[in-house]
Amino acid sequence: MEEKNMAYYLEDLNRVHNLSFEKLGEWKEKFPYAQAVHFLMAKKHQLEGFIDDMDIYHKASFYAVDRTFLQERMTRSETELGSLVEEAEDILEEEVEEIEEVVEVATSDSENIIVEEENEEVAIPIGDTDESENVDDTETLSDFASWINSLGDQSSESSESNQIKKKKKKKKKKQSKLAQKIEASVIKKDEIISEPLAQILAQQGHIEKAKLMYEKLSLIFPEKSSFFALQIEKIINSK
């Protein structure tokens, strides 16, 4: 049943809204290394707006067999992701406006009223805390966006690496076939290839056989190919 349920949510990512974290936890405990489980966990966090826990997303990419596929699935619901980012930006803008209003009120009051030191000390950390929270939120959004982009980078690197490996395999395969052809053309089963035999064949008038043997000797001993070429030329001229 677990596999069927996973497939149900994977077929339509909008259904992940109805998937509970409790159920995801059960799947994760039962299938700790399944990429589908880690992907659904990441997608659930994304749709719910929990983009601060980057460990969830890093695990999804770690267990993903195809990171291009993961990137597509994570960015598939673009309207949902876009609205999520817009909502976060609106909240940040509202918080900034509230901080500015508080600062303006505090400044105008200080000109007419003597404020006690305790009140001033309380007011300062509140403003600092809000600003630090805003910075953390923007950094979280940036981390999430960077993670999404990194999936594409890693996918392209993986693709390039696979292409290089395929080219190397093809090259080795071609070299292997070439070696087999040379070996087959040079030496047949129980065939004797030697320079003295080539000379005897030439002396007996078997010109073509002698020529063929010198050609095979040139392949076996490439360092003497010029010498064998000269012998072939002599045989041809002796006709």
d(CA 155, CA 135) in angstroms, rounded, equals 30
At 159 the pLDDT is: 54
Contact present, 73 and 112 (Cβ < 8 Å): no
What residues does each domain of the chain span? 1-185, 195-237
Residue with tokens 């992940």: 16
Tell me the Ramachandran region of residue 191: left when phi exceeds 0, alpha when psi lies from -120 to 50, beta otherwise: beta
At position 169, the amino acid (one-letter code) is K
DSSP string, 145-214: HHHHHHHHHHHHHHHHHHHHHHHHHHHHHHHHHHHHHHHHHH--TT----HHHHHHHHHTT-HHHHHHHH
What are the structure tokens assigned to 28, written together?
């994760």
The reported pTM is: 0.36
Specify the amino acid at residue 91.
Answer: I
Alpha carbon distances (Å) from 18 to 8, 24, 47, 199: 11, 11, 11, 89
Contact 196, 219 (CB under 8 A): no
The amino acid present at 32, given as its one-letter code, is: P
Q: What's at 204, amino acid-wise?
A: Q
- DSSP conformation class of 32: T
User: Which pLDDT value is given to residue 121?
Assistant: 44
Instruction: Find out whether 131 and 102 touch, Cβ atoms under 8 Å.
Output: no
pLDDT of 92: 44
Nearest 10 degrees: Cα torsion 67, 69, 70, 73: 160
**Tens digit of pLDDT at every position of the chain (239 positions):** 445 578 888 888 888 888 888 888 888 888 888 888 888 888 888 888 877 778 878 888 788 777 777 777 777 654 444 444 455 445 444 544 554 454 454 445 544 444 444 444 444 444 444 444 444 444 444 676 676 667 766 545 555 555 666 666 666 666 666 555 545 554 454 467 888 888 888 888 888 888 898 888 888 888 888 888 898 888 888 86
Distance CA 138, CA 140 (A): 5
pLDDT of residue 9: 82
What is the model's pLDDT at position 43? 85
Report the length, in residues, of the chain.
239
